């Protein structure tokens, strides 16, 4: 168990001091699913959503989300990401837009929150752009798939 703590001796929330941790390459991969109805999927794929190119805008929003994570999640360290990639794939048969993010950094702390924020913001952008034509959009399965680097090394989800 880690001795890192987000509270001081008086119970006040603090940002964890990572200054004594080793700088290593750290990578995190996260994903989520956006379920849309068949008509919405067709509009997304043919560029028929009035707000614009859903997948391109969502990709950019996800990258921005990764960069803005410490402004959105209390106590996250501001990080100089070396890479933030988003992949959006449409499964027409299942009606799912699968979003995957991969964030990299050379730092003393990991990028799991950046990867998770990236997929979350991309999914919310899809919701916002498509809500006029599909009230039943479902965003789910937001999860960390993998992380590498640091003292704990590699972790992969099931």
Average pLDDT for runs of 10 along the chain of length 158: 69 88 95 98 97 98 98 94 98 97 96 98 98 97 96 88
pLDDT of residue 1: 37
List the domain range (segments joined by +) for residue 53.
24-149
Total tally of structural domains belonging to the chain: 1
Catalytic-role residue among 8, 53, 128, 134: 128
96 is a domain residue: yes
Q: Say which CATH number the domain at 127 has.
A: 3.30.70.640
Residues in the chain: 158
106 is a domain residue: yes
pLDDT of residue 40: 98
Does 53 participate in catalysis according to the annotation? no
Give the 3-state secondary structure of the chain: CCCCCCECCCCCECCCCCCCCCCEEEEEEEEEEEECCHHHHHHHHHCCCCCCCHHHHHHHHHHHHHHCHHHHCCCCCCCCCCEEEEEEEEECCCCEEEEEEEEEEEECCCCHHHHHHHHHHHHHHHHHHHCCCCCCCEEEEEEEEEEECCCCCCEECC
Predicted TM-score (pTM) of this structure: 0.93
pLDDT of residue 3: 56
């Amino acid at each position: 168990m880690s001795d890192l703590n987000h509270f001081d001796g008086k119970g006040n929330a603090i940002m964890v001091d990572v200054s004594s941790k080793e700088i290593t390459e750290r990578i995190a991969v996260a994903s989520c699913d956006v379920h849309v109805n068949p008509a919405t999927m067709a509009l997304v794929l043919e560029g028929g959503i009035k707000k614009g190119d859903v997948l391109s805008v969502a990709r950019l929003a996800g990258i921005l989300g990764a960069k803005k994570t410490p402004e959105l999640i209390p106590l996250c360290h501001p990080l100089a990401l070396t890479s933030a990639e988003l992949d959006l794939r449409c499964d027409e048969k299942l009606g799912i837009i699968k979003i995957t993010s991969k964030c990299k950094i050379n730092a003393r702390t990991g990028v799991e929150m950046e990867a998770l924020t990236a997929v979350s913001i991309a999914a919310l952008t899809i919701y916002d752009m498509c809500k006029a034509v599909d009230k039943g959009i479902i965003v789910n399965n937001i999860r960390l798939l993998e992380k590498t680097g640091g003292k704990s090394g590699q972790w992969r989800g099931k």
